[in-house]
């Protein structure tokens, strides 16, 4: 296997993947802004519908990230909306490349020898005004070193559990899994259950979903299709769950419960989440990475 | 050096240290409750003065901590007050002992061979109603494996910086340092500046103070005296700073700023703080460890 996948085949694949992640970001932004317009109930309905604020960034402009000795280039497009349905939602696209420092390259498969890497992806976290609407996370990415793979998944964190929501969310992801490999749903659901878990609380973060990493079946087209399908399954089902509950009134107790549950979300992101930790430690864009933090949290 | 310090000399030292940490907890609780009674200004003055809620715990009763394969015994006394000056303050005493699992013993000096350890300490974090009153942390502890040492320190996190507060806080710690070793202040202040720092933000957590660990000068009595002095310096100066500002009105903007700055505090505790991380990973008491989290936080 070549040391770096710098050839027409891989240049084209990188271009296709980055282009898809950016396109998905655009599609999701349009859908979420439409939801903001549709709100007709709850105390929040008199607020202005939210709109995404777009912040393009390049690595050259960053000055608040850790200095790690890595040589990182590229950039991304942060998109954040503070709305009347979506209290805070970040939908970030990034495409970065360069050379990891000696310290980090040993942690990245295929980067041990020269540290060279390329990565693009979309990362989304939504914290909702209503405690009746589940919080959600979705992230898909393609990584290239001397190896290449896809990773990602989507998982749901209801504050007020709802069996139908959970079943429908899992079913949407399962349909994409089953369309690609009969083993994927079982494996990637179990991976999410293991991953989205807080050992120090002995509790799951939410009701799970799917999680996969280092996906390289040998058929790049199939892996890319499965990765796209994860994003599309999310984009199909999550807006349905939002519309199902967003106009229902909630109680002060439910809101308080939501703020406390968000503390668990914050604990998971800062203590365990590999993307967050690795991103912060390797000199990633702090603002983009921590866009996932809940807007308001209580540890009473 | 003996494998475990199980003899009369060390049994007596452990007893002295544990007894001191518990006594200091009692003294601080009395002082903080007195401050609650004294409040005469601000919108909070019509609230009832806060009182500490005491929760004794033993390791045998815990069921929400990570299962690590270590054999841990002992327990502690959590003390938390949700008051009108102290929005949330935890003053925890603990004395734990046992055998670390193979995974953890390599991380503890002197425990590599048999995993045996004993530890006692007091840990305090105060998050204040008023953004004009600095948040604070103080922690002192004694650890025994086949080695023994003291660790601890105190550091101040003003939300609205005040030069006099900062100078007075440093001066109180310096007086204790200087009474024990002419090098301590410079060394332990520099250690705090290095330690209480968020690389991913390229920001200090607050204005620092002192931090020391693995303190074993060869004179146990002197090290114990320095450790006690750290706690006493804290107990002398911090209440002065609280009383200096607690009756002053604050603005909504200052409160919002405080809630955002608390986000940095939460990030530090969950990403970097060694006591928090090690405590959670090694199967410590999650409730006691996370008593340090701010009661209300914003990541807007």
Contacts of A265 in chain B (CB under 8 A): none
- Cβ within 8 Å, pair B290-A271: no
- Cβ within 8 Å, pair B267-A271: no
Mean of pLDDT values over A118-135: 97
A64, A86, A299, best to mutate vs chain B, most B CBs in 10 Å: A299
- Cβ within 8 Å, pair B65-A290: no
pLDDT tens digits for range A188-201: 999 999 999 999 99
Task: Using the predicted structure, report yes or no on whether residue A256 has a pLDDT greater than 50.
Answer: yes
- Separation in Å, CA of A11 to nearest CA in chain B: 31
Domains of chain B: 2-292 (3.40.1500.10)
- Cβ within 8 Å, pair B297-A295: no
Q: Which of A80-84, B6-10, B92-96 has the least mean pLDDT?
A: B6-10
pLDDT at A203: 94
- Cβ-in-10-Å burial (0-12, 13-18, 19+) of A147 comes to middle
Q: Please name the residues in contact with A93: beta carbons below 8 A apart, sequence gap of 6 or more.
A: A21, A22, A25, A76, A77, A79, A120, A121, A122
* Predicted structure pTM score: 0.91
Percent of chain B with pLDDT over 90: 78
Q: Maximum distance among all alpha carbons in chain B?
A: 59
- Cβ within 8 Å, pair A82-B298: no
Computed over every residue of chain B, the mean pLDDT equals 93
The DSSP secondary structure of B68-79, one letter per residue, reads: -S-EEEEEEEEE
Closest to A200 (Cβ–Cβ): which among B63, B199, B280?
Answer: B280
Q: Residue B25 is encoded by which pair of tokens?
A: 């907890």
Count of alpha carbons within 13 Å of A198, Cβ hemisphere only? 23
Task: Using the predicted structure, report yes or no on whether residue B82 has a pLDDT greater than 70.
Answer: yes
Residue of B nearest to A265 (CA): B270
Handedness of CA A60, A64, A67, A70 (dihedral sign): negative
Spatial contact of B186 and B211, defined as CB atoms under 8 Å apart: no
ipTM summary value: 0.90
Select the more confidently predicted residue: B64 or A165: A165
Residue A234 burial (CB count, 10 A): 29
- Separation in Å, CA of B50 to nearest CA in chain A: 14
Task: Please identify which residue in the block is written with the tokens 């805070």.
Answer: A88
Q: Maximum distance among all alpha carbons in chain A?
A: 59
Q: Residue A216 is encoded by which pair of tokens?
A: 């390289």
Q: Please name the residues in contact with A147: beta carbons below 8 A apart, sequence gap of 6 or more.
A: A1, A109, A110, A216
Mean of pLDDT values over B10-15: 95
- Separation in Å, CA of A284 to nearest CA in chain B: 8
pLDDT tens digits for range A64-89: 666 667 788 899 999 999 999 999 99
Closest to B299 (Cβ–Cβ): which among A66, A67, A295?
Answer: A295
Alpha helices in chain B (DSSP H): 8-38, 102-105, 163-180, 184-195, 220-245, 252-267, 274-281, 286-289
Give the residue from A252, A254, A262, A157 showing the smallest Cα distance to B293.
Answer: A262
Task: Using the predicted structure, report yes or no on whether residue B2 has a pLDDT greater than 70.
Answer: no
- Separation in Å, CA of B282 to nearest CA in chain A: 9
Task: Name the DSSP class of B284.
Answer: -
B66, B200, B279, best to mutate vs chain A, most A CBs in 10 Å: B200
To the query of whether residue A170 is one of the catalytic residues in this protein, the response is no
């Amino acid at each position: 296997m070549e040391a770096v996948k710098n050839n027409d085949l891989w240049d084209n694949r990188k271009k296709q993947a980055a282009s898809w992640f950016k396109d998905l970001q655009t599609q999701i932004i349009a859908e979420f802004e439409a939801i903001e317009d549709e709100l007709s109930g709850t105390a929040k309905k008199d607020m202005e519908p939210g709109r995404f604020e777009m912040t393009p960034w390049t690595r050259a402009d960053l000055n608040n990230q850790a200095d790690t000795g890595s040589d990182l280039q590229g950039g991304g497009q942060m998109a954040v909306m503070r709305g009347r349905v979506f209290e805070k939602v970040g939908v970030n696209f990034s495409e970065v490349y360069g050379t990891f420092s000696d310290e980090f390259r040993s942690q990245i498969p295929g980067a041990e020898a020269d540290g060279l890497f390329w990565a693009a992806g979309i990362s989304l976290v939504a914290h909702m005004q209503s405690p009746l609407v589940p919080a959600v996370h979705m992230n898909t990415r393609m990584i290239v070193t001397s190896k290449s793979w896809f990773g990602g998944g989507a998982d749901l964190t209801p504050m007020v559990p709802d069996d139908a929501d959970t079943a429908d969310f899992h079913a949407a992801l399962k349909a994409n899994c089953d369309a690609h490999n009969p083993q994927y749903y079982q494996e990637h659901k179990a991976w999410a259950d293991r991953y989205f878990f807080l050992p120090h609380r002995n509790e799951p973060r939410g009701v799970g979903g799917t999680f996969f990493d280092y996906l390289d079946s040998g058929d790049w087209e199939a892996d890319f299709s499965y990765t796209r399908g994860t994003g599309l399954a999310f984009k199909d089902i999550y807006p349905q769950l939002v519309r199902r509950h967003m106009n229902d009134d909630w109680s002060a107790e439910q809101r308080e419960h939501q703020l406390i549950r968000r503390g668990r979300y914050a604990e998971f992101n800062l203590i365990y989440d590999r993307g967050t930790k690795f991103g912060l430690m390797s000199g990633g864009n702090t603002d983009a990475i921590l866009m996932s933090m809940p807007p308001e949290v209580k540890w009473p």
